């Protein structure tokens, strides 16, 4: 596709349930990033995939959060046993593997935990 696609655009879930958020990056982009943005806050880095290298998971807030990227393309962010503080917009971005190339962001998934 022409841009980074994220699904679903909105997700309401009950506390304690697991959720999966999907990101389809731009074709050919080897780098993929997940961020989250709580209401009125800045962007918080979560995880970064680059080609076949081990992902940089340094931003994941707890072991309830995990992400995978299959075949170097689609990525899924999974949150287990969701908590109310997980409510946020989860943003995915992708870029080429180049020293100075900008990211393209998707429109995000708005997650609400009730």
Partner 1 sequence: DAKTTQPPSMDCAEGRAANLPCNHSTISGNEYVYWYRQIHSQGPQYIIHGLKNNETNEMASLIITEDRKSSTLILPHATLRDTAVYYCIVSPGERGQGGKLIFGQGTELSVKP
Q: What residues make contact with partner 1 under the rule CB under 8 A?
A: 4, 31, 33, 35, 42-45, 48, 50, 56, 59, 91, 93, 95-108
To partner 1, the closest distance from the beta carbon of 29 in angstroms equals 9
Closest alpha carbon to 30 in 105, 76, 77, 94:
94
Kindly state the helix (H) or strand (E) to which residue 74 belongs, with its residue range: none
Residues in the chain: 114
CA 85 to chain centre: 16
How far apart CA 56 and CA 50 sit, in angstroms, is 9
How far apart CA 37 and CA 43 sit, in angstroms, is 5
Closer residue to partner 1, CB minimum distance, 13 or 30 = 30
Closer residue to partner 1, CB minimum distance, 33 or 65 = 33
Closer residue to partner 1, CB minimum distance, 31 or 111 = 31
Closer residue to partner 1, CB minimum distance, 82 or 109 = 109
**DSSP type of residue 56:** B
To partner 1, the closest distance from the beta carbon of 22 in angstroms equals 15
To partner 1, the closest distance from the beta carbon of 58 in angstroms equals 8
To partner 1, the closest distance from the beta carbon of 25 in angstroms equals 12
């Amino acid at each position: 596709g022409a841009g980074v696609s994220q699904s679903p655009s909105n997700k309401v879930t009950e506390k304690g349930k697991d959720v999966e958020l999907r990101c389809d990056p731009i074709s050919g982009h080897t780098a993929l990033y997940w961020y989250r943005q709580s209401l009125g806050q800045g962007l918080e880095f979560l995880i970064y995939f680059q080609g076949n290298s081990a992902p940089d998971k340094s931003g994941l807030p707890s072991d309830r959060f995990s992400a995978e990227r299959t075949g170097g393309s689609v990525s899924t962010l999974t949150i287990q046993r969701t908590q109310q503080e997980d409510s946020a917009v989860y943003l995915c971005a992708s870029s080429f593997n180049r020293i100075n190339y900008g990211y393209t962001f998707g429109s995000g998934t708005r997650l609400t935990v009730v």
